[in-house]
Structure 1
Amino acid sequence: MTPHNEMRLLPWPSPEGKPCFLSTDDNSGHLSRLADNIEAVQLGMTAELLEHASEVLGDEEAEPEELRHLATDLTEALHNVLRVATSRGQRLPIPTPAHEGGNEGPRLPAAAFG
């Protein structure tokens, strides 16, 4: 496997709303730990919001304004979760193709596919 991408997408945007990146090979540095903590908070808040959304959507008497507010909060949470997933995906090791000496992984016989 080759190394991961050293540019880490941070869990907050710039003041202009653009992505922020951290260039480091030290995953235990101050900014890396801060980003890890913020990601954990964002994911925890999203889990709580999802639980709240289930309750509100189950309430047949929910007001339209409450539903609009919920949709706004869910949209923001989805943006955060997508940024966390993208950041973590970019930091995964990149596998070396088999023809370059990498591990091919398990193989199944053709009969396994019908």
Structure 2
Amino acid sequence: MTEQSLNAARLLPWDGREGQPCYVVGDGTGRVSRAADTVEAVQLGMALDLIDHAEDMLDDDRCTEVQFRHVTTALTQSLREVHRVARSRGLRLGVPDRSEVEHPTGPGLVRLRP
């Protein structure tokens, strides 16, 4: 496993147009990369808080079905975000990602300045 070279495409923690994956190309020090780092840190912190909240609800016999549905919806969204962070970091470490065949690699990539 090798780390990706400089100027490799990074999967960002937000969607682009029409829910499509969004990428930035650069050395990881640009404004967009720094914003992505911040968003990822917030997402991971919120996931921990949500886990604590869900555990508290499981211990509370008074929780309703509506409350469980709400926390399940929030957990599902959080899991999607955490999965995306893990995929992005794995790709930057050179771990193959077969879940997304259209990952922009190769000479046809349109390079934007971050």
Scaled by the length of structure 1, what TM-score is found? 0.76
1:1-114 equivalences under 5 Å are: 3-4=3-4, 6-24=8-26, 26-93=27-94
Coordinate RMSD, CA, aligned: 1.6
Pair member with larger Rg: 1
Distance in 2 (alpha carbons) for counterparts of 1:92 and 1:50: 27
Distance in 1 (alpha carbons) for counterparts of 2:18 and 2:9: 19
CA contact (8 A) 2:2 2:93 kept: no
Identity of aligned residues (%): 47
Moved over 3 A (4+): none
Deviation at 1:23, TM superposition (A): 1.5
Distance in 2 (alpha carbons) for counterparts of 1:3 and 1:60: 48
Q: Summarize the Cα distance change of 1:90–1:56 in structure 2 as closer, same or farther, 3 Å threshold.
A: same
Deviation at 1:93, TM superposition (A): 4.5
Gaps of 5+ in 1: 95-114
Instruction: Report what 2:105 is aligned to.
Output: none
Deviation at 1:15, TM superposition (A): 3.7
Could you report, residue by residue, the CA deviation over 1:11-59 in whole angstroms, capped at 9, with x for unpaired residues?
A: 00124111101111x2111000000000000000000000000001111
Could you report, residue by residue, the CA deviation over 1:48-103 in whole angstroms, capped at 9, with x for unpaired residues?
A: 00000000111112100000000000000000000000000000157xxxxxxxxx
Once structures 1 and 2 are overlaid, which stretch shifts more, 73-82 or 52-61?
52-61
Distance in 2 (alpha carbons) for counterparts of 1:27 and 1:15: 22
The alignment of Structure 1 onto Structure 2 pairs a total of residues equal to 93
Once structures 1 and 2 are overlaid, which stretch shifts more, 26-35 or 85-94?
85-94
Distance in 1 (alpha carbons) for counterparts of 2:2 and 2:71: 42
